[in-house]
């Protein structure tokens, strides 16, 4: 778990540093940061899709996952519940920052493969690399959205900790196909978050989060057949 602990600490550190710099940033500069983060999130999402799409053995699965997951998330109305929760914690654009941060920090090859490598092979390289990237990303996000971004740290810890625990219990449960499909769907979610930040389209990304469960269930079932 050392890699996950380091990753969590870097997000806490980056969020604190970024929130300190936020005090000296003017409104027009904050708008520029919003635009930069929107473009970055969109680009990272597209990159994840482009890199993993050719590796997919189930080219239609991401469509089904996004459709079913969005329907389920909308029915539960995760976005509204998330908005109400963050409104109790802060004002302004924190909910948008948290949803973007959670996706960027948690949904990626390094953040998924890292805990598995750590659990099965005692190799923390992926997590240490991810921690370095998250340090910079959390600084930028916190300089835009404020100290509330520290709330993404416990989410990351629970996410990677769960994967670490599953890897120990189930061994090779997280197959290559499962990671590929998760990365594709996750890439679309990250890109949709970027579009929301840029105010191009409010995709209500939180309502789409259940889409990530569909590839896991599908690959698990096909692996048992």
Instruction: State the pTM of this model.
Output: 0.70
Distances (CA, A) of 116 to 129, 133, 196: 14, 19, 31
Query: Phi and psi dihedrals of 89, rounded to 5?
Result: -90, -30
What's residue 6's pLDDT? Answer: 92
Cα 66 versus chain centre, distance: 15
The pLDDT tens digits for 72-127 are: 989 988 777 776 766 665 555 677 778 778 877 886 666 776 787 788 778 787 78
Q: Which residues of the chain have pLDDT under 70?
A: 23-27, 30, 83, 85-93, 107-110, 113, 171-174, 224-225
What is the distance between the alpha carbons of residues 101 and 43, in angstroms, rounded to a whole number?
15
What's residue 225's pLDDT? Answer: 56
Number of helices followed by number of strands (H, E) in the chain = 10, 0
What's residue 88's pLDDT? Answer: 61
What's residue 8's pLDDT? Answer: 92
What's residue 87's pLDDT? Answer: 61
What's residue 157's pLDDT? Answer: 92
pLDDT over 90 for what percent of the chain? 11
What is the distance between the alpha carbons of residues 150 and 211, in angstroms, rounded to a whole number?
25
Query: Phi and psi dihedrals of 202, rounded to 5?
Result: -80, 95
């Amino acid at each position: 778990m050392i890699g996950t602990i380091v990753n969590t600490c870097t997000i806490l550190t980056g969020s604190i540093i970024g929130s300190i710099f936020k005090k000296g940033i003017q409104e027009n500069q904050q708008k520029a940061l919003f635009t930069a983060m929107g473009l970055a999130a969109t680009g990272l999402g597209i990159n994840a899709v482009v890199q993993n799409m050719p590796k997919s053995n189930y080219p239609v699965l991401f469509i089904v996952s996004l459709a079913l997951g969005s329907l389920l998330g909308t029915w539960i109305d995760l976005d509204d519940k998330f908005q109400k929760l963050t409104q109790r914690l802060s004002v302004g654009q924190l909910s948008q920052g948290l949803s973007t941060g959670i996706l960027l920090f948690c949904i990626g090859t390094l953040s998924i493969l890292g805990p598995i490598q750590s659990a099965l092979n005692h190799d923390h390289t992926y997590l240490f690399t991810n921690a370095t990237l998250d340090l910079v990303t959390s600084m930028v996000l916190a300089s835009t959205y404020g100290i509330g971004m520290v709330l993404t740290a416990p989410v990351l810890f629970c996410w990677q900790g769960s994967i670490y625990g599953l890897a120990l219990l189930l061994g090779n449960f997280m197959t290559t196909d499962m990671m590929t499909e998760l990365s594709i769907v996750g890439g679309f979610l990250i890109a949709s978050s970027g579009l929301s930040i840029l105010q191009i389209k409010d995709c209500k990304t939180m309502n789409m989060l259940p889409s990530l469960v569909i590839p896991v269930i599908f690959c698990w079932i096909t692996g048992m057949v």
